[in-house]
Structure 1
Amino acid sequence: MTAAAERTTTDVLVVAREQVLERGVGLDEAQVLQVLRLPDERMEELLGLAHEVRMKWCGPEVEVEGIISLKTGGCPEDCHFCSQSGRFPTPVRSAWLDIPGLVKAAEQTRATGATEFCIVAAVRGPDARLLSQVREGIKAIRESGNDIQIACSLGMLTQEQVDELVAMGVHRYNHNLETARSHFPQVVTTHTWEERWDTLRMVRDAGMEVCSGGIIGMGETDEQRAEFAVQLAELEPDEVPMNFLIPQPGTPYADYEPIEGRDALRVVAAFRLALPRTMLRFAGGRELTLGDLGAEQGMLGGVNAIIVGNYLTNLGRPAQRDLDMLSDLKMPIKALSESL
């Protein structure tokens, strides 16, 4: 076999072009690991292929979403990355958003052209008070004439709670697996990865869309990043948020260094090749990790959704800057009618 022929049969990007781009079959764990270990000089080739995959299997539209914290801080869980944990001496204090504030946030989100509005609460799982607040908030948003799709992220659920959210008209449910199953015990000790998985399965079976991703840069290895990508692929989520660790004061990860931009882009592209048909969303930490130029590279390297505005306890960049970026890249914003 010639050297050129051998390269064709073993080069992961050559394999990915046929397997993922042509047939729509995501890379397996070993293949994702090969992608994550590609040298920097092949980044342009990798990002270009990831963009081709995104365009073929997802199309050119970008889904825009805004998020709001209904209940902030005081969470009993010990997620080591989170400033909202009540177990760590962070600056975040418990607070509730009232219904008028929720309606206003939804209006502001819709005004950006966003089609998705996610109501988030820092809890292990929702109690009766929280579910009542969500129910009243959704009702008020609808009565205001806002037709935006509503998602929720309220922690782990019981079957009864899943059914309640379906009855409220919740379109999509976010519950991040956060990291690979093998790494999860180093990140969270107060509940298990399997508990999160069980909630997502109930959500899927109830007919809501599934949103689940995680945070890159929490001390995981390349092997665990590859593991995480294929575990998400097994879940078959409708959306995968890609977050990058923002070290939070007072948390166990306060002194972690943010990952480098090129590594973040490599992960994004690898996840696209593992999840060719899934909405891949830029979320928290992209500003810190990538900056403006890197964000554009990510949008041309497999990403097809974005959160605009601020995050839960961290500032993003002005929504208009992201909308301008999409305009400059000639990427149309997905319309509400197309999202239904």
Structure 2
Amino acid sequence: MPQPATDILALARTKVLDRGAGLTEAELLEILTLPDEQVPDLLQLAHEVRVKWCGEEVEVEGIISLKTGGCPEDCHFCSQSGLFESPVRSVWLDIAELVEAARQTAKTGATEFCIVAAVKGPDERLMKQLEEAVAAVHAEVDIQVAVSVGTLTPEQVERLAAAGVHRYNHNLETARSFFPEVVTTHTWEERRATLDLVRQAGLEVCSGGIVGMGETLAQRAEFAAQLAEVEPAEVPMNFLDPRPGTPFAGYPVMEAADALRTIGAFRLALPNTTLRFAGGRELALGDEGAEQGLLGGMNAIIVGNYLTTLGRPMEEDLDMMGRMQLPIKALNSAV
């Protein structure tokens, strides 16, 4: 028998806020089915959890694509797949462009710059370009560098660590039970194996995914619980932005109340984790909802554009955080 809303929030207050332990999958499902009138209470609790277990600071990150489009995988949400009739076509950036993008990102106060490539995994050409890019950014910009280039071998993980990569992103994307509905050219287990290699090499693990792709609430709870098992340093939260030409092009945009419930649930699943606003927040939440999310458990944000979709101008996000009096996390080396 499900607990009344007040009971599950009381349990969460004791378990998560007081003890720092994440909710179980069954408990998260109760959070995700809270009535709309309970969402403000959920967000308030999630904010208290965030402040207690992560601190008040918000981490700012910029991302750039080293290789865009032409990917051989069939992730149904992604316009970078070379298998769909989407408008994105394969493009490479050079090192000077990456360094300039990192420099502009650092000017916003960001501590993290993520280099992404649309590939199943890096070949030798890409590995060498990544090593060169990371060295060039570190030589000219005071910022930490993260990388996201798909499935890795143990040798590739070691090379990225030696190059000075701070954090590796490889999203689980969705619940294990729902993954075959989203991707058929590789498995959830392959993604999890790369995350294990990354952790073993001493890199920070970044793994999240996309909500609103047609998964059930039970699968959304499953996804949050599975992410907690990975123990990521960071979880990027994306909300489906249906892209033309992809199999998910006709899917509806997530309702704001559902998006906020999901934010609260993920914070209660991952009390110590950096929870980052990523793609689709503008569609699902708008300006007011984004502010609610930042006061409801989120403690990081990607500024500027995403890989193939437009975000908000970074100045608008920085102004928003200034109005909300949210302190921006600084690099330890700069403090």
TM-score, with normalisation over the residues of structure 2?
Answer: 0.98
1:89-128 counterparts in 2 under 5 A? Answer: 89-128=85-124
Per-residue CA deviation, residues 257-287 of structure 1 (Å, 9 max, x unaligned), is: 0110110000000000010000000000000
8 Å Cα contact 2:71/2:118 also seen in 1: yes
Q: Which residue of 2 aligns with 1:3?
A: none
8 Å Cα contact 1:8/1:15 also seen in 2: no
8 Å Cα contact 2:28/2:269 also seen in 1: yes
Q: Which residue of 1 aligns with 2:282?
A: 287
How many aligned positions are there?
334
Per-residue CA deviation, residues 222-270 of structure 1 (Å, 9 max, x unaligned), is: 0000000000000000000000001010000000001101100000000
What is the DSSP-based 3-state SS (H/G/I as helix, E as strand, rest coil) of the residue aligned with 1:324?
Answer: helix
8 Å Cα contact 1:217/1:258 also seen in 2: yes
Output the amino acid matched with 2:143: I
Q: Which residue of 2 aligns with 1:251?
A: 246
Within the alignment, does 1:17 sit opposite 2:28 as a pair? no
4+ aligned runs moved over 6 Å, structure 1: 6-10
Within the alignment, does 1:311 sit opposite 2:306 as a pair? yes
Output the amino acid matched with 1:157: L
Q: Distance in 1 between matches of 2:323 and 2:74?
A: 41
Q: CA RMSD in A?
A: 1.5
Shift in Å, 1:176: 0.2
Q: Which residue of 2 aligns with 1:36?
A: 32
What is the DSSP-based 3-state SS (H/G/I as helix, E as strand, rest coil) of the residue aligned with 1:11?
Answer: helix
Within the alignment, does 1:332 sit opposite 2:327 as a pair? yes
Q: Which residue of 2 aligns with 1:77?
A: 73
8 Å Cα contact 2:72/2:81 also seen in 1: yes
Q: Distance in 2 between matches of 1:149 and 1:266?
A: 31
Shift in Å, 1:142: 2.4
What is the DSSP-based 3-state SS (H/G/I as helix, E as strand, rest coil) of the residue aligned with 1:100?
Answer: helix
Identity %: 69
8 Å Cα contact 2:5/2:38 also seen in 1: no
Alignment counterpart, residue 214 of structure 2, candidates 180, 200, 219: 219
Shift in Å, 1:165: 0.2
1:141-160 counterparts in 2 under 5 A? Answer: 141-144=137-140, 146-160=141-155
Structure 2, unaligned runs of 5 or more: none
Shift in Å, 1:143: 2.6
Output the amino acid matched with 1:266: R
Q: Which residue of 2 aligns with 1:228?
A: 223
8 Å Cα contact 2:76/2:182 also seen in 1: yes
Q: Distance in 2 between matches of 1:309 and 1:9?
A: 37
Per-residue CA deviation, residues 278-316 of structure 1 (Å, 9 max, x unaligned), is: 000000000011000000000010000000000001110
8 Å Cα contact 1:125/1:156 also seen in 2: yes
8 Å Cα contact 1:9/1:15 also seen in 2: no
Structure 1, unaligned runs of 5 or more: 1-5
Shift in Å, 1:28: 0.2
Shift in Å, 1:138: 1.4
Per-residue CA deviation, residues 144-191 of structure 1 (Å, 9 max, x unaligned), is: 2x1200000000000000001001000000000000000000000000
CA gap of 1:250–1:231, structure 2 versus 1, over 3 A, is: same
Q: Distance in 1 between matches of 2:213 and 2:287?
A: 23
Per-residue CA deviation, residues 66-114 of structure 1 (Å, 9 max, x unaligned), is: 0000000000000000000000000001000011111110000001000
Within the alignment, does 1:61 sit opposite 2:57 as a pair? yes
Output the amino acid matched with 2:212: G
Q: Distance in 1 between matches of 2:289 and 2:186?
A: 34
